Amino acid sequence: MNFGLTEDQRDVREMVRKFAEQEIKPVAAELDKTHRHPEEICRKLGEMGIMGVAVPDEYGGAGMNNVTYVLCMLEISKACASCGVIVSVNNSLYGYPVMSFGTEEQKKKYLTPVASGQVEGCYGLTEPSAGSDAAALKCRAVLKGDKYIVNGTKIFITNGNVAHYCVLAVTTDPALGYKGVINLIVDMKNTPGFKVGKIEEKMGILASGTAELVFEDAEIPAENLLGKPGQGFKQMMMGLDAGRIGIGSQACGIGRAALEDALAYAKERVQFGKPISTFQAIQFKLADMAMQLDAAELMLLRAAWMEDNGLDYEKESAMAKCYASDVAMNAAVEGVQIFGGYGYTKEYPAERHMRDAKICQIYEGTNEIQRVVIARKLLGMR
């Protein structure tokens, strides 16, 4: 078993690390405070190929693999969690289904501008009554001639306020359950009957917009159907498997930031005449954070390697996302504790890491759902 990275992977990680340190981290606090979409950062990451890491270059991507994607996500998310999730949605939730199930024409038209970082993409799944129960969709598409007429509302859509394109999960008939689910590619700037609704006020990842998408007799060309009718739910599940690697990597990056900040502060903060890093209580916290984050990173790399090699990675991606987000939250909480009273103020980034980490236990499938997925795979249940 070889745990080493290829020369290309090391070079890409170092390139992204330098960019994150020099251009993302210095503005992370400002982005958090102003809730500003990091347009300039997204465009530069696109030029670097990072908005479509594993997408072939003929469709605007970098033509690398998912192990490299994990490495990039770790570095970006360590600098700014909001930038991390924007990159994750572009690559996984939007990029994966279009790349995997789209026609050649669909990929050239709808994947290339997103993978090259010219515009953002998003995935419209969650509804007021359909979150963890992803088959309970009410947003409905009725085929009329050469168009689908769509009515319904989506909520909590990451990138929804800025995205140009959306992969939209809808049902052709709610009574059919998962068998009625289809995915449509939506041009959000040129679709009659579509509008962006409420923008959520959130606890964390504040530079990443979370929006309501409203469809009122929206007209979507029938040619924008991904795959065939009846395949939508399977596409959705496969896309979420891929997406969980991205969100797990985002979480692990946040945890790494919390650890690095806590390490630096513990060496500087003096109490009882010596740095608090000399106290065993602090050392144990730091040691636990490091062990857990290393384990999470290895789990993420394993899941990504399995995806790259065409193996069934559903259980492994669920494990990696669940564990990485849990240990990231723990690292963020312990980071605040190590900073003490300063950790509860906005003078240091510890409180931001804590706010940002929490969502990773919720979106892309709550960690309770991840445990359901894991248990079903262990028990051989469908």
**Which residues are designated catalytic?**
364
CA–CA–CA angle 185, 43, 240 (5° rounding): 40
